[in-house]
Structure 1
């Protein structure tokens, strides 16, 4: 749409009754382009490199961290601490804000100050090369405004005017299956001693996660019904299970470790509204659910994993390890009771 000048985008943002993610989709622009429409008007383009950005964020104190994909949003309140930098992968290991960061996807970043009914709302927003949100950080009432000013001073980029060029969004690859390597997949799967070996294994066999699950078969991976997702949430709540919920995208994965207590379904959304942890899941986007068992030195790592119709991961949910307060036996019983796919009549 050629008439979508920054001024027009600002006008549409003021009139919008939907979230920026949905407004961008309606307009056919990237979410980052919506943010950039306010460059110089409360929005500052900043350095997106995690090795510079996260240490500045650490000094903000308590904030809210948000990571999303097309189908799921995770929000955690806490502090950024224990940052470990790296060229290909970085992480924060705070018990509340626990992130796996892939710096190559952190392409655009902005410090945003926007007025709302409760006064100014300040955030750091990071996007990939296509302008899709990778990670967002929202200041809270107790956040350090001096550290916010310092962040702006340290990380503002010289060019605050030239519009960014956003690349076309990469398509999600479909399930990659190598039928002739099924036996090799099964034998190598059984030799795993750590869940992190899985990605290397499937890559070496020219497959991907969903393709491997479809091929390997029980007891390593078996399909569940899509209704297993609400059943999982309810069982975790009712049995007070401690879980690790992984939600993310190609640039960032955010992890919740603990219970899921306050469930509030609303239309297609399954919501967890706990005090310092919120999750918002479009249940109608769930196309496949898998129960996965990977061997490790500490015993089996059992997960429930949901995928959308394009084959993208929506979330992965593991039982918390016993040394962290989890109940391995209870988790195993819980997932075994989840509904299997319905047999066609």
Structure 2
């Protein structure tokens, strides 16, 4: 914790700035969001925080007991909110997942360092959530109860998951620096050869890692080939409007190092609010800082079912903001509408500095 701020100081700052979101207040105070949350460990009036087991293997199989919830995953530029019930949890040594028609996530447990059950008073009653953070104290996933949730399951779940250490401070690690684009032009021919042989999009990360590149570096290396087309960074708003107008189903990924959350379906109600592009649908909300999009690409990857073509956006530090693929509507759908939407996006002509 920042040396000059005690847990009491943080609680006072939160009381004085009750309408400021935790992430924004933490940044203003020079601490992590997890340090702000843990400062309320115990009961402080109607504000109650319980430290709970952070590992997804312990927590996520239990979340289905809460019934319908809102799952939130975000990065610095985009917030992805999906309503549904946590169903099948599949654990893995390096990656786990939640599978279901509404909540679909990919989880990387080594990043899950801190967990909290949070109860906050609001004008509409107590807002209950489970919140999970990485070693630097940055949010990985938050799970909010709704009016329709099984509130009777909350207390037993929190009691079972509570850990012995209920102190109001934590020690966080420095945030990992942005990786930027890792590109190895000496391996460009090998990249393109391996790319052409792909049969599944999940092979891509293994190919780039083997060649000493990352996603953005590989896309930059492949410029000038049919696999990658750079598009104007301000294309996202017209893209969302085109998807909405065409009633095109999509598969939309937003993630951070510890959690990737996936929306399947349409994007119907698009609203612009200042720098934010928003999807405001009953079961899905997206909040995207359009001004954070520094690079965007239409990317094609071969698969057994035909080409998988996506729109992918990156921020100025080279971090992935989102990926969006077309969702097939039945086995006979050739995704012609989706391909047409992407083809209409303007190509970025200027070179990267």
TM range (shorter): over 0.9
State whether residues 45 and 157 of structure 1, in contact with CA within 8 Å, keep that contact through their aligned partners in structure 2: yes
- The CA distance in 1 between the partners of 2:126 and 2:152, in whole Å, is 15
The residue aligned with 2:16 is: 15
State whether residues 53 and 163 of structure 2, in contact with CA within 8 Å, keep that contact through their aligned partners in structure 1: yes
| Residues 57 and 82 of structure 1, relative CA distance in 2, 3 Å threshold | same
- The CA distance in 2 between the partners of 1:325 and 1:263, in whole Å, is 28
| Residues 90 and 326 of structure 1, relative CA distance in 2, 3 Å threshold | farther
Aligned with 2:308 (options 301, 310, 328): 301
**Residue correspondence of structure 1 range 18-167 to structure 2 within 5 A:** 18-41=20-43, 42-161=48-167, 163-167=169-173
Deviations 1:258-308 (A, max 9, x none): 110111101100011001100000000000001000000010010000000
> How large is the Cα RMSD of the aligned pairs?
1.4
**Residue correspondence of structure 1 range 136-215 to structure 2 within 5 A:** 136-161=142-167, 163-215=169-221
State whether residues 63 and 77 of structure 1, in contact with CA within 8 Å, keep that contact through their aligned partners in structure 2: yes
- The CA distance in 2 between the partners of 1:71 and 1:15, in whole Å, is 26
- The CA distance in 1 between the partners of 2:307 and 2:23, in whole Å, is 38
- The CA distance in 2 between the partners of 1:259 and 1:115, in whole Å, is 34
- The CA distance in 2 between the partners of 1:324 and 1:242, in whole Å, is 14
Secondary structure in 1 matching 2:270: coil
In the alignment, structure 1 segments of 5+ residues that lack a partner are: none
Shift of 1:25: 1.1
The residue aligned with 1:4 is: 5
State whether residues 40 and 168 of structure 2, in contact with CA within 8 Å, keep that contact through their aligned partners in structure 1: no
The residue aligned with 2:240 is: 233
| Residues 312 and 244 of structure 1, relative CA distance in 2, 3 Å threshold | same
Matched pairs, number: 344
The residue aligned with 1:221 is: 228
The residue aligned with 1:242 is: 249
Q: With the length of structure 1 as denominator, give the TM-score of the two structures.
A: 0.97
In the alignment, structure 2 segments of 5+ residues that lack a partner are: none
State whether residues 128 and 145 of structure 2, in contact with CA within 8 Å, keep that contact through their aligned partners in structure 1: yes
